[in-house]
Amino acid sequence: MIEQLSWKVGGQQGEGIDSTGEIFAIALNRLGYYLYGYRHFSSRIKGGHTNNKIRVSTKEVRAVSDDLDMLIAFDQETIDVNAHELHSRGIIIADAKFKPVKPEYCQATLVIIPFTEIATELGTSLMKNMVAIGATSAALGIDTATYQAVVEEIFGRKGEKVVNNNMEAIQRGADAYMSSVGDSVQTLSLKKADGKNRMFMIGNDAIALGALAGGARLMAAYPITPASEIMEYLIKKLPEFGGTVVQTEDEIAAATMAIGSNYAGVRTLTASAGPGLSLMMEAIGLSGITETPLVIVDTQRGGPSTGLPTKQEQSDLLAMIYGTHGEIPKIVIAPSTVEEAFYDAIEAFNLAEEYQCPVILLSDLQLSLGKQSVEPLDYNKINIRRGKLNDQEIAEREDKSYYKRFEITDDGVSNRVIPGTKNGIFHVTGVEHDETGKPSEVPQNRKDQMEKRLRKIHNISFQNPIYKAAPHAEADLLLIGFNSTRGSIEEVMPRLEADGLKVNHAQIRLVHPFPADELKPMLQAAKKVIVIEHNATGQLASLVKMNVGYGEKIESLLKYDGNPFLPGDIHQQCKEMLANGHI
Amino acid sequence: MATFKDFRNQVKPNWCPGCGDFSVQAAIQRAAANVGLEPDDLAVISGIGCSGRISGYINAYGFHGIHGRSLPIAQGVKMANRDLTVIASGGDGDGFAIGMGHTIHAMRRNIDVTYIVMDNQIYGLTKGQTSPTSAEGFKTKSTPSGSIESSLSIMELALSSGCGFVAQSFSTDLKDLVAIIEQGIQHKGFSLINVFSPCVTFNKVNTYDWFKQNLVSLKDIENYDPHNRMMAMQTLMEHNGLVKGLIYQNPNRPSYQDSVRGYSSSALSKQDLTLPEEKFTELMAEFM
């Protein structure tokens, strides 16, 4: 019996590889397994190798596994590209149609099943995916009836016949596998799961659900990988709440439209990736100087320019913190799990209104698109705080002067009035302005307004700005990361401990303003520090050095080839870095 | 009830004496009062340039944004609060150069915003460079040998972009301009009003006199029918775009707000933001 399985299905893009993985994963999630899926895909609709690697475990997992137990291949390329991941006890189940051969080095067992032929016999070759699922189930000792409900949900509207055909395809796949290999399947039998109900979702689902729970009622966005799922979810859901998603002509329109509707009192977001964020920079400055709340999700992908649009990277970090010309208050949050993405999305709207500034919810492709089992979210943790949003009647002023929307205050935050409010008229401009919003170039006013805006975020209240797993008062090694690297780092910790090292872990969740005071003791308590991030220049390491210091202890472990860190990568490289005395 | 004086604030415009924009400002103030608005009901969203300052000169909720982006901001405001009357405003550079993408898509989208462009065929605030509506051969600081690019036929472009209210006016014709702006505000959907508003400092060609000599009033064209898009296009082409009046209106096209599924019939900004627990449980279950 195994407690964990690493399974991958691959073929040509457009062949239904995603849905094969999806049906398999949903069914297993319902049995109570923890799932973690990561898709390899290209920026094209049809053609090109694609695969979906899914980890099934009886314990929570948040990282792509180092190796592979089972590979389902719909073409030879899938075997050629992925066979190296298989360990010697692994199994390849391949479609007879392409006459599969395994590379010489590969010691895994190759089982050939006529996926396409069986599917064609049953009516359509499209069902080859279901045949493959059946074969997988037989190999894992999972009852084919497990899929009944999922198949009904997916194909039910096409009628009973289609449902039955698909179920038969699954059964035929299982039968074909059994008759082909017989009893040797036992080695991969999965230990029974706990049977608990969990959600199966990607980070973008959590962000979108968080936006909805956090009171967002409008979204303005332009489609882009890997952010589009957020707008696609919200366009389905917002109309139930009176709102909508406007698909704009570009990201500049998306950001400025969101500014317009936030100004007019509706929590509005936009979401994009690096190229879109580059276009939004001027608007982010406008939100900053006009003190208009704005929530922007940045799902990082490989840059620069179009870069690696479907690949993992974390290279927008410094641009998100420092981007836009001029100086503004800004908050940048980087959730490190899907659960955090949900709660942080809600918090992003609260902070945007409390501090009246842009808030960037930073994600990365692995967090945004990695699909995983998530414990039910806590309704009682949802709260909505709108800060100094005026809800009182405003007395008429004799002199008809404008409302002091940008009044100088101790905490820098002024009362916010939304258009339509009686006697609340004020002016808003991206030009430097006085307390009523009228343009002003008076040097003292400039100084006062600039300082007012910047001091708003000096003492922001943010729960758990750092996720800490720090069992040691004195550590040999401190690992630091942000966003999705948390899953891999967590898996490496026990391995490094097993090597005899005392290791602490800090995942930075609030990247701006940087939680220096909170991180400092962890750096002090560590002999060596490795900052792990998906970029080529060590952006997070620079932030740590700049804000906290200890540069002499800090070394970077970087990956920017487009693929997520595997726990094994990190383990190996940390050991090498320590052994070579780099740090 | 508010009068046009209630839409005045104490700010003195920084426009040059004689600038066409003064009358546009006055026309907006009069039209707003004439259609029965109170200053609190009106939001004026403007871009960057001389004319972009207009939002600061009208006693209403004003938003002076960034160059070329008055329309997306204005559309966002309207989507957030459909009870507000939203006017977007700016110059020809703002709307037809840097902001052209937004102009075309705002016309397609048809959110109920009245867009008033002060078109002076030149860049004024940057002191005299060519604009997308400058005529070919027009000499400016950036086109010392004369512009070699063709001039935009903005009204034709509006027709082909599906704009449901297309009008053109001249800043000195205050009475007509006020009437057109009133119609634009009352039109359900996006309305584009291009106002020739001469720059007395940098444009020595397209002067008040030049427009008086060259503009043809649609009132003078026999049997002109502003509901006939074909006739509108033909008339524009015949007169090289130099016409004034209501060029085209499609009163039957529903606005974006009236077409969006589920969109709140009251101001979205006044909604309670709480998500009921049963609903939340239902949403979570969809992922199980």
Q: Token digits for A481? A: 């990361």
What pLDDT score does A173 carry?
Answer: 95
> Taking Cα atoms as reference points, which of B154, B153, B136 lies closest to residue B145?
B136
B chain contacts of residue A438, beta-carbon cutoff 8 Å = 11, 56
Q: A105-123 burial by CB neighbour count: b if 16+ within 10 A, else e? A: ebebbbbbbbbbbbbeebe
Q: Residue B281 has which token pair?
A: 């449980």
Flag whether pLDDT at B220 surpasses 70.
yes
Partners of residue A260 in chain B, C-beta under 8 Å? 45, 63, 72-80
Closest CA to A352 of A231, A437, A460: A460
Torsion angle of the four alpha carbons A178, A180, A184, A185, in this order, in degrees rounded to the nearest 10: -40
Taking alpha carbons only, the member of A97, A111, A100, A54 closest to residue A77 is A100
Kindly report the nearest CA distance between residue A225 and chain B, in angstroms: 21
How would you classify the pairing of strands A68-73 and A86-95? parallel
Name the residue among A140, A193, A137 with its Cα closest to residue A150.
A137
Place of tokens 């009208």: B58
CA distances from A364 to A273, A311, A468, B24, B208 (A): 9, 9, 20, 48, 57
Q: Would the CB atoms of B76 and A425 count as touching at under 8 Å?
A: no
How do the domains of chain B map onto residue ranges? Answer: 4-285
* Number of residues that make up chain B: 288
Query: Rg of chain B over CA atoms, in angstroms?
Result: 20
Using alpha carbons, list the distances in angstroms from residue A218 to A63, A239, A254, B270, B276. 33, 9, 11, 13, 18
Q: Which residues of A touch B73 (CB under 8 A)?
A: 256-257, 259-260, 263
**pLDDT attached to residue A188:** 76
The CATH topology of domain B4-285 is: Rossmann fold (3.40.50)
Residue in B273, B282, B286 to test binding to A, most A beta-carbons within 10 Å? B273
Residue of A418, A431, A436, A438 best to disrupt the B interface, most CBs of B under 10 A: A418
Name the residue among A214, A259, A420 with its Cβ closest to that of B81.
A420
Q: Is the dihedral of CA B280, B281, B284, B286 positive or negative?
A: negative
CATH assignment, A4-197 = 3.40.920.10
B69 interface with A at CB cutoff 8 Å = yes
pLDDT of residue B14: 94
Architecture of domain A467-579: 3-Layer(aba) Sandwich (3.40)
pLDDT at A125: 92
Q: β-strands B216-217, B243-249: how paired?
A: parallel
CB contact under 8 Å between A209 and B283, yes or no, is: yes
pLDDT tens for residues B230-271?
Answer: 999 999 999 999 999 999 999 999 999 999 999 999 999 999
Q: Which of B40, B45, B105 is the closest to A420 by Cβ?
A: B40
Q: Please tell me the CATH code under which domain A201-377 is placed.
A: 3.40.50.970
| Amino acid present at B129 | Q
Q: What is the DSSP letter of B94?
A: I
Looking at residue B8, its pLDDT comes to 96
Of A199, A253, A257, the CB nearest to B287: A199
Using CA atoms of B204, B172, B184, B62 in order, give the dihedral in degrees to the nearest 10: 80
Mean residue pLDDT across chain B? 97
Please name the helix (run of DSSP H) or strand (run of DSSP E) that holds residue B176, with its range, or none.
helix B174-186
Determine how many CB atoms are found less than 10 A away from the CB of residue B27: 26
Quick one: which H or E segment has residue B166? strand B165-170
- Could you tell me if B249 lies within 8 Å of chain A, comparing CB atoms? no
- φ/ψ of A144, rounded to 5, equals -65, -25
What is the domain partition of chain A in residue ranges? 4-197, 201-377, 388-459, 467-579
Share of chain B above pLDDT 90, in %: 99
Nearest to A429 among B64, B77, B264 (CB): B64
Based on the number of CB atoms within 10 Å of its own CB, is A60 exposed (0-12), middle (13-18) or buried (19 or more)? Answer: middle
d(CA A226, CA A300): 8
d(CA A180, CA B141): 82
In this structure, are strands B122-123 and A475-482 parallel, antiparallel, or unpaired? unpaired
Q: Which regions in chain A score pLDDT beneath 70? A: 183-187, 581-583
* Cross-strand partners of A49: A12
Closest-CA distance of chain B to residue A339, Å? 12
> What pLDDT is stored for residue A582 in this prediction?
56
A243 touches chain B (CB under 8 A): yes
pLDDT tens digit sequence for A74-131: 999 999 999 999 999 999 999 999 999 999 999 999 999 999 999 999 999 999 999 9
Average pLDDT over residues B154-162: 97
pLDDT at A399: 85
B:97-136 residues touching chain A, CB 8 A cutoff: 101-102, 104-105, 109
